[in-house]
Amino acid sequence: MFSSRFLVEKEEADTDHLKIYCQLNYEIKKYNEALIFAKKLLEKTDNKVDALFYIADCYSRLEQPRKTVAIYEKILVYEPENYLALNNLGYNQMKIQEFQLAKSDLDRAIEIHEYAFAYNNRGFANLNLGNLDLGLEDINHSLEIDNQNSYAFKNRAIYNIMKGENEAALEDLLIAKELGYRELYGEEVDELIQKL
């Protein structure tokens, strides 16, 4: 019996298998393994953007936002109008406290496509830049597009906390929790609820 990694080391895996190995490892949260396959895929494939997205996703899950930002910037060299890359770039810029840069990239993403997550992320950037009303407007618009976005409910709760509206914040946090925030993003909602 041999491992899929053995095929990669021997240069025998084709791009279809590399993509499968990357996806399988990603799904079982073996992000370092998935990253190995994604990097090898990048070397072998003509579709650089797909491979770069895999690499960026792995770096993001490994909590390496600076590397993630660098990869999304490479994607945008290939596809400057890729609103998903712009959204993810903005999201990761916020992780390194680059809120103004994030807002600019999220503005571009929204110009290209009315994407709920980009509105939500721009709303969070605006909150962090002190533009509370613009932040709330974006977050609410995100929820108009997708009312199942637990992250937007969490961000609206943050707005309400900033405004001293703890009852409204708790209501949004409970909705975020019910929509599965914890499973998707971690325990931040539970921590905020405990603080109220």
Average pLDDT of 12-18? 83
Residue owning tokens 């603080």 = 195
- When pLDDT is averaged across residues 163-184 and rounded to a whole number, the result is 92
**41-61 pLDDT, tens per residue?**
999 998 999 999 999 999 999
Sequential DSSP letters for 152-164:
HHHHHHHHHHHTT
Return the amino acid letter for 82.
Answer: N
What is the per-residue pLDDT for 186? Answer: 76
Q: Give the model confidence (pLDDT) of 97-121 as tens digits.
A: 999 999 999 999 999 999 999 999 9
> Is residue 12 pLDDT above 80, yes or no?
no
Gap between the Cα atoms of 161 and 64, Å rounded: 28
Burial (Cβ within 10 Å: 0-12, 13-18, ≥19) of residue 166: middle
Q: What is the DSSP letter of 3?
A: -
Q: Which amino acid is residue 61, in one-letter code?
A: R
pLDDT tens digits for 20-47?
999 999 899 899 999 999 999 999 998 9
Residues whose CB is less than 8 angstroms from the CB of residue 135 and which lie 6 or more positions away in sequence, other chains included: 123, 124, 125, 126, 127, 155, 159
% the chain with pLDDT above 70: 94
Choose among 16, 71, 15: nearest CA to 44.
Answer: 15
The predicted pLDDT at position 136 comes to 98
In angstroms, what is the C-alpha Rg of the chain? 19
